[in-house]
Amino acid sequence: MKNTQFTPAWFHVATLLIALIVPSVHAEILSGKVVRIADGDTVTVLDASRNQHKIRLVGIDAPEKKMPFGNRSKQSLSEMVFNRHVQVEYDKKDRYGRTLGKIVLGGVDVNLEQVKAGMAWHYKHYQREQSEEDRAAYSQAEDEARVAKRGLWKDAAPTPPWEWRKRNRR
């Protein structure tokens, strides 16, 4: 009769290897008050210790200030979060030292709301860094905003900010 309680050694080794290879999804939470809106995808949050954190909204790219809808995108974000206490879910910083995060206010994903309102693109270049659920929601929100011609989608062919930045670097 076989002992069903016995687990082969290779199983333990395989489990350990999988745990080491597969990155864990471990988001940190920052709580604080939004004290500055730089543009439609960047804010500054002041935490309880009075430290300021520059937050780049992950998963989206909003028009630059000098682009069409740049000021409107900033205004939209400001109306949602300025002077409000928010939660920022994050797990890393970008090359400029900004915290890459998802802002949540009252259970609502603010980044997603910017896309729904047509105030930002789903930043597909970095979509692998999003959860599958967020990736699908942001992509669908952009498609719906485009079809409804909301915000920047009122323009027949809006220039994405990554293309605009590339052209203006030269």
Active-site positions read: 56, 64, 98
Nearest by Cα to 55 from 107, 106, 110, 129:
110
How far apart (Å, rounded) are the C-alpha atoms in residues 85 and 166? 35
Handedness of CA 34, 91, 65, 75 (dihedral sign): negative
